[in-house]
Amino acid sequence: MSNDKKKALFICLGNICRSPIAEGVFQKTVNDMNVGDQWEIDSAAIGSWHVGNPPDWRALDTMKKHGVPYNNCARQIVSEDFNHYDFIFGMDEQNMRDLNKRAPKGSTAKLLLFGDFDPQGDRIIRDPYYDSDAKGFEKCYEQSVRCSKGFLESLQKETK
Ligand code: 4NP
């Protein structure tokens, strides 16, 4: 029943730091819940700078450390995404402004701030690209774990 799959797209500025981690963690979360086959999951960038590139090595290291498989490469969001996906998640307020600006009129995807699903209320997943270490990537991982669970719980409540 592939047509019934729920579809989620994770967005950040470059698609090499935060959204790959969010994508990998969300995929692992649904896999661990044995509902991975019910989801189509991807990530993409607002900008085109890193199209075709693998994630930043610190993002890959962080995922590896936590047993999150990942082998996707960066792509830029396209207008079709706004009707293909059910949920498009941004990482910060600038992502949300960019998404709202790019969404074609009448498109159906829900544009959501991923951090709004953090039970700890840490709403912004900060861009760690220019950091001199990997701490921001670890934080992004921890936030993605909480937000993935929080979002899936909110969906369950909605459908009950
Ligand atoms: P991301 O981080 O949006 O989390 O992937 C960034 C990566 C690259 C750039 C900015 C943010 N950049 O300007 O190249």
pLDDT, tens digit, for every residue of 81-106?
999 999 999 999 999 999 999 999 99
Residues near ligand 1 (Cβ within 6 A): 12-18, 49, 127, 129
Q: What pLDDT, on a 0 to 100 scale, did the predictor assign at position 3?
A: 64
Q: Which atom of ligand 1 is nearest to the CA of 16?
A: 5
Look up the pTM and report it. 0.97
C-alpha torsion 143→148→151→156, nearest 10: -150
pLDDT at 1 over 90: no
CA-nearest of 23, 14, 27, 79 to 53 is: 14
Q: What pLDDT, on a 0 to 100 scale, did the predictor assign at position 159?
A: 77
Q: What pLDDT, on a 0 to 100 scale, did the predictor assign at position 107?
A: 98
- Break the chain into its structural domains and give their ranges: 2-159
Q: What is the CATH number of domain 2-159?
A: 3.40.50.2300
% of the chain at pLDDT higher than 70: 98
> Which of 18, 42, 58, 92 does the annotation list as catalytic?
18
Nearest CA to ligand 1 atom 12: 14
Contact present, 114 and 91 (Cβ < 8 Å): yes
Please give the Cα distance from 160 to 154 (Å, whole number).
10
CA-nearest of 114, 109, 102 to 18 is: 114
> Which of 81, 127, 146, 147 does the annotation list as catalytic?
127
The answer to whether residue 127 is catalytic is yes
pLDDT, tens digit, for every residue of 17-72?
999 999 999 999 999 999 999 999 999 999 999 999 999 999 999 999 999 999 99
Quote the ligand 1 centre to 155 CA distance (angstroms). Answer: 29
